[in-house]
Structure 1
Amino acid sequence: MTARRPTMIRGGRLLRPGADTAPAADILVEGGRIARIGPPGMDMPEGCAVIDAAGCLLHPGLVNGHTHGHGHFSRGLTDDLTLETLLAGSFWFNGNRRHEDKYLSTLVGAAEMVLKGCTACYDLFWEFPTASQEGMVTAGRAYSDVGMRAVVAPMVADGSFLASVPGLLDAIPDALRDEITPWTAPTADALLARLAEIDDAWPFDRDRIAFGLGPTVPLLCSDAFMAGAGRMARERNLPIQTHLSETRIQEVTARHRWGRSLTEHLFDLGVLGDTLSVAHAVWLNERDIALLAEAGVTAVLNPSSNLRLGSGLPRMRALLDGGMTVSLGTDSASCSDHQNMYEVTRLAGYLSHVQSPDPARWVTSTEAARAATEGGAAALQMPEIGRLEEGRAADIVFLDLGWVHWMPLRNVTMQLVQAEDATAVRHVMIDGRMVVRDRQLLTVDLARLQRQVSDAVARLDAMNTGNAALFRKLQPIVGRFCSALSPFPQAGAAPLPPASGPDPDLN
């Protein structure tokens, strides 16, 4: 392989964590890493390529701590879902997929992310009936072809959603239940063996496209599988992520089943650890936060998705004050409709303003920006990303400071969080290579991708007509049952208390 020429980035203004101003600096990039940062005009090696970054703010690539590559074909499909009805409708949203469809769906999300300043993500990728080597490699190939970093983690369980909520299956009329395609869940041992096989045969450079684990929701997983996944993560040094306490009904169900919170149950199973990240983390109490923080778990908050699905508001201030590392994510386009980390970062700060009248309890722009960069690096277990420092990866976003929302230029960190919406993204460099230049994606023909996606979606929509009709019959039953089982509390209500036994509301 031909060695890459070193690159000198001249005259950009370098964003430092939490800084008010961004002084001009030059950056020397060698072998995909930041070799040196110095004053404008510093010496450079002979034969060095030069990128003129005058008028640009340089910040580390944003890191999307939680998304689903399989879900991007569901954008704009419906706007009346809760998480529970979304889970019940997966046979419609993701039905009849070929591997090429999975590739295109993931490619769409990856292309959107890099065009909007995101250079790495954690993808919990779902396949029916279970994860396959070919499917996971297909998703990894999409990220590799776009040029971004990713952790690709099979989203798997050895149980089903409809069976996970007490009494839900019985609430479905017999005739309708008979229409639902029967599915035999794989055993815990079979799932763990499959994950080990995929990991053993992983074909990508793990510094760029890593393999991870994704036991989807603890309530859908047996204790044997959750504990086994935690062991596998430790033994193989793999990142692992699960959806934790995303909705109130998950916590209510956990107390009904185990007499304790989901976090306490995972602690008892030995799953908590510093390679674990937990997506959403909305319905946590102080005891849960303490357990997660002590174990070194990273929380990945998804405010856009939580608002879209009506799941509740994460308490970012409580998580930070409790000692947790916090990351941010977009979630899937099926429940967030975008892959814009700037929007998520702004929401993460602003939502704290409606949770307390005291500005001292609000999430600062510095904290939100760190969650979108360094926090994401922790979730992905990629310590080389998330900051622009010598020795770290050259994953750099160039923002055009001549863009209108940077006028006037005052506090760069505040404006990055409060004003940036991805429209000022001029260039994006990942691993020292330009992936976006002058707002054009260099690695994917978007016009061709649009034609491919349009053809694929037209075919899938026609094939899934019956699935859509079946879901519309099932949706109101699931929705009513789940809302009755766990009514949403009034705004500002405290989280569920520590669980020392079954919740008295369930008796």
Structure 2
Amino acid sequence: MTLPDDLDQQVITGEDKLLLPGFVNGHTHSSQVWQRGLIPQLPLELWLANVFDSTPRQLEQFYWGAVSTAVDTLLSGGTCLMDHAYLIPGQERETVEALVRGYREVGIRAVIAPLIQDLPFASGFPKGCLLPQSASSRSAAEWLALMEALIDEFHAPDEGIYIGLGPTGFHRCSDELLTGCAELGDRHQLCYHTHLLETRTQHRLAQERYGISAVQHLYNLGCLGPRTSLAHGVWIDEADISLLASTGATLVHNPVSNLRLGSGVAPILKCLQAGLNVSFGCDGAASNDAQNLLEAIKLGTILHTVSDSDYEHWLTPEGALHLATVGGAKGVNLGDRTGSLTPGMDADLVLYNLDHPSMLPRTNPLQLLVLGRPTQVVDAVWVQGRLRVAGGQVQTVDTHALYRALRQQPLNPETGRSQHHSVESHYRSVMLNASAGE
């Protein structure tokens, strides 16, 4: 493993411990920490109406959201995350600066891919949903110019801070923005991260808009490749899977939020059988209510036993850990730096306590970690060779200050309800009736 030059050699006693590479949280939205427990169980399109109206508007909230997400990630075995980050309108640069400050202080490896779109909210619905049309805050050209500036200022790989390209998805982005992000990513060799076919609604919209699948459309635009990671992919078919696999792209599996929102179950076993790289994500806390990677990995391991009766196809604990480490690192374009215990790789390491009651009796520690209910089992974490967690406690930030900040909850539980009711009538009349007829 590669250690920083300024660190002295350390001898770590590994008795009664399990050493693994750090996990990667391949998809989250850090500002949603403030919306944890706020939004009821709703399908994505109704849920979004609540999320947009209750998104934080203060820079300090974004800073604490980054700190909270990073702390939860470290304490559940993660050393890297992909933040598909909301930006405060009119304060986009300052928002990224607040996120960078939070991640640097905690000391986690973070890819920040600003969540950008140049089409209005209503564009994410099929024909027949007569929702108010509101203009985007910026054109595609303006977003791309901003992204170029953010890359120049904040992209710092040696410090573990990366800027990615994060168009929301085909449903709320013009082709100009989608291809512009791909070209910018190619120029700077950055990760391209976007939502893909999370719901039946998006599947139907792609057919209406393009006459082909969303995957085929993104392929035609030149947006798919080894640096592309796609969140969800619940509504992809076998042709989509084959095409994605041929490009070297990554599908980020978010089992908790997919079930929380009723989106469906992604065909992960078929993806793996086709050779498509898969990683795990928590998604944001507004659709997960937590940021626990071990929970996402467990659910993502056992969820698919009901979709394929051939148990030889099922995902094993060892296979799940491969997705969480090697698969996750590839998905954030860091496969040459992290994800495995290999000479020459950065020292992104997690030490688990095998003496914790949830890891007893001494049977199969990997199976207990993945399929059990491990709590407080992370003993130590190193990111780029620097100690971030020791004795189960984060060493880099004052977690008591974090929890005090989170107790000062500024969001109103009724926020967003007026827009929710506006969207609900159209959603029920158009989408639910369409679903019933399929």
> Who is 1:423 aligned against?
376
Alignment of 1:375 onto 2:327: yes
Q: Does 1:343 align with 2:316?
A: no
Identify the range of structure 1 (228-237 vs 369-378) with the bigger mean alpha-carbon deviation: 228-237
Whole-Å Cα distance in 1 between the matches of residues 155 and 248 of structure 2? 29
Which residue identity is paired with 1:51? I
Which residue is 2:425 aligned to? Answer: 477
Compared CA separation, residues 203 and 377, structure 1 to 2 (3 A) = closer
Native 8 Å contact 1:249 1:482 kept in 2: no
The match for 1:251 is 203
Stretch of structure 1 that moved more, 374-383 or 131-140: 131-140
**Shift of residue 483, structure 1, vs aligned partner:** 3.4
Residues 137-172 of structure 1: CA deviation (Å, up to 9, x unaligned): 2112111111100100101010122233134552x5
Q: Which residue of 1 aligns with 2:66?
A: 106
Q: How does 1:242-281 map to 2 (within 5 A)?
A: 242-281=194-233
* Alignment-derived partner of residue 29 in structure 2: 68
Q: 1:127 aligns with which of 80, 87, 105?
A: 87
1: distance between equivalents of 2:39 and 2:48? 14
Cα displacement (A) at 1:90: 3.0
- Counterpart of 2:102 (choices 138, 142, 165) is 142
Matches of 1:484 and 1:401, distance apart in 2: 48
For the 8 Å contact 1:289–1:324, the answer to whether it is kept is yes
CA, structure 1 residues 33+400, in 2 after alignment: closer, same or farther (shift >3 Å)? farther
Return the offset for 1:86: 2.2
For each residue in 1:400-450, what CA deviation from the matched residue of structure 2 results, as whole angstroms up to 9, or x when unmatched? 111123223233332331125342111111111211111111112122112
Structure 2 gap segments, 5+ residues each: none
Partner deviation per Cα, 1:455-484 (whole Å, 9 max, x = no partner):
2x23x43xx85x434234335325414532
For residues 327-366 of structure 1, what are the structure 2 equivalents within 5 Å?
A: 327-366=279-318
How far apart, CA to CA, are the structure 2 residues paired with 1:432 and 1:312? 39
Separation in structure 2 between the aligned mates of residue 349 and residue 154 of structure 1, nearest angstrom: 29
1:333-361 alpha-carbon deviations (Å, 9 max, x no partner): 00011111111111111011111222122
TM-score using structure 2 length: 0.94
Please tell me whether the aligned partners of residues 150 and 208 of structure 1 are also in contact (alpha carbons under 8 angstroms).
Answer: yes
Equivalent residue runs for 1:181-260 within 5 Å: 182-202=134-154, 204-206=156-158, 208-260=160-212
Q: Please give the secondary structure, in 2, of the residue aligned with 1:127.
A: coil
Q: After superposing the two structures, state which structure 1 stretch, 128-137 or 298-307, moved more.
A: 128-137
Cα distance in 2 for residues equivalent to 1:154 and 1:131? 12
Could you tell me whether the CA contact under 8 Å between 2:49 and 2:420 is conserved in 1?
no
- Report SS of the residue matched to 1:318: helix
**Which of the numbers 107, 112, 129 marks the counterpart of 1:152?**
112
Displacement of 1:291: 1.0
1:454 aligns to 2:407 (yes or no): yes
The one-letter amino acid of 2:240's match is D
Aligned length: 437
Measure, in 2, the Cα distance between the counterparts of 1:275 and 1:205.
15
Alignment correspondent of 1:30: 3
Describe how 1:458-469 pairs up with structure 2 within 5 A: 458=410, 460-461=411-412, 467-469=415-417
Shift in Å, 1:273:
1.0
Specify whether residues 205 and 230 from structure 1 end up closer, same or farther in structure 2 by C-alpha distance, changes over 3 A only: closer
1:275·1:381 contact (CA, 8 Å) conserved in 2? yes
Q: For the residues of structure 1 that align with 2:241 and 2:113, how far apart are their CA atoms?
A: 24
Q: CA deviation at 1:67?
A: 0.6
CA RMSD, 1 decimal: 2.3
Structure 2 vs 1, CA of residues 32 and 484 (structure 1 numbering), >3 Å: closer, same or farther?
A: farther
Match of 1:487 among 414, 435, 438: 435
Equivalent-residue separation in structure 1 for 2:282 and 2:49 (angstroms): 21
Q: What TM-score results when the alignment is normalised by the length of structure 1?
A: 0.81
- The verdict on how the C-alpha distance between 1:488 and 1:301 changes in structure 2, with shifts beyond 3 A counting, is farther
Deviations 1:48-81 (A, max 9, x none): 4333222111111111001111211110112222
Q: What CA distance in whole angstroms lies between the structure 1 residues aligned with 2:209 and 2:272?
A: 29
Distance 2:108 2:371 in 1: 25
Whether the 8 Å contact between 1:131 and 1:156 is mirrored in structure 2 is no
**Aligned: 1:301 with 2:277:** no
For the pair 1:433 / 2:386, whether they are aligned, the reply is yes
Deviates more, 1:200-209 or 1:158-167: 200-209
Q: Is the 8 A contact 1:119 1:395 kept in 2?
A: yes
1:314 paired residue number: 266
Larger Rg: 1
CA deviations over 1:284-305 (Å, ceiling 9, x no partner): 1111111111111011000001
Percent identity between matched residues is: 33
Distance of aligned partners of 1:409 and 1:478 in 2 relative to their CA distance in 1, 3 Å threshold: farther
Higher alpha-carbon deviation: 432-441 or 145-154? 432-441
Give, in whole Å, the separation in 2 of the partners of 1:302 and 1:154: 19
